Amino acid sequence: MKKTIAVSIALAAVGALDVFAFMLARQSFPETKYRVYRPDEIHCITEGFPRSGPANAPVAMVEYTDFECAYSSHMDSVLDTIRAWFGPQMIAVYHKQRPLYEDTVRRLRVRAAYAAHRQGKFFEMKSLLTAIELSANDAGREKKLRSDIRTAADLAGLDMARFKRDIESAEIDEIIDEVVKETERYGIYRYPSLLINGHFICGVRSVEYYVERISAMLPDSLVVHAHQREELCID
């Protein structure tokens, strides 16, 4: 009983912090008009985006991440643990990459990820792209990054001729533009962020936190307790 009360208090505190952070963001960007969306008002395009898990899973998660945030790369292991907890047929994760900053160089890795998806190699390429570090030398940054991306594409086993066409295509730019507009429309300003059946959660949390939230969205008959919750915490 004490543990349940403690968890409830902790979740309430986290929620209050999210609201406070959101209000700060409003003050920082007064020219931007925000509104609060109900879950049934949030409509994210998922068709055509990389997906792990079955399309008919009862829990649909939309993940927004970028390549320049260490927390975004940590989210992969968190999602793997969540899917293992509930079972691979229960969770579908749609992956949406977007550049943390809007400039040509920082778009390159995002373009490469979506180009690789056209060959069914998004996840292999995402791992390789995450490991790339941007050069501190501004003058040579783009040249080095393009070279690193070509190496990653080769390691991922991509058709290089097709990859070179796709990464420069207008269609890939349009995909990124739509993701950027979507995040701005719903006030998603920090990454990683998740929409779980329409419920917005910002930042990486403990696996136990996600399990609590997802379990509350599902009927008891679908919640399978395969592990002790104490074993789910990630350092």
SS (H, E, C) 156-204: CCCCHHHHHHHHCCHHHHHHHHHHHHHHHHCCCCCCCEEEECCEEEECC
Amino acid at 142: E
Helix (H) or strand (E) holding 63: strand 59-65
One domain for residues 162 and 118: yes
Per-residue pLDDT, 224:
55
pTM recorded for the entire structure: 0.76
Q: Looking at the predicted structure, is the pLDDT value of residue 11 above 50?
A: no
Between residues 173 and 39, the one the model is more confident about: 173
One domain for residues 29 and 82: no
One domain for residues 9 and 74: no
One domain for residues 102 and 135: yes
Residue 48 zone, left/alpha/beta (φ > 0; ψ -120 to 50; rest): left
One domain for residues 151 and 44: yes
* Residue 166's pLDDT band (cuts 50, 70, 90): very high
What is the Cα gyration radius of the chain? 19
Residue 165: give the domain boundaries. 39-232
* Residue 156's pLDDT band (cuts 50, 70, 90): very high
Orientation angle between helical segments 138-155 and 160-167, nearest 10 degrees = 140
Start-to-end Cα distance in the chain = 25
One domain for residues 48 and 27: no
Dist. CA 199–CA 61, nearest whole Å: 9
One domain for residues 109 and 125: yes
One domain for residues 148 and 76: yes
One domain for residues 47 and 20: no
No. of helices (H) and no. of strands (E), the chain: 8, 5
One domain for residues 126 and 142: yes
Q: Residue 131: give its domain's CATH number.
A: 3.40.30.10
Per-residue pLDDT, 111:
96
Dist. CA 104–CA 168, nearest whole Å: 11
Mean pLDDT across the chain: 80
Domain count for the chain: 2
One domain for residues 123 and 209: yes
One domain for residues 9 and 111: no
Q: Are 116 and 124 in contact (CB under 8 A)?
A: yes
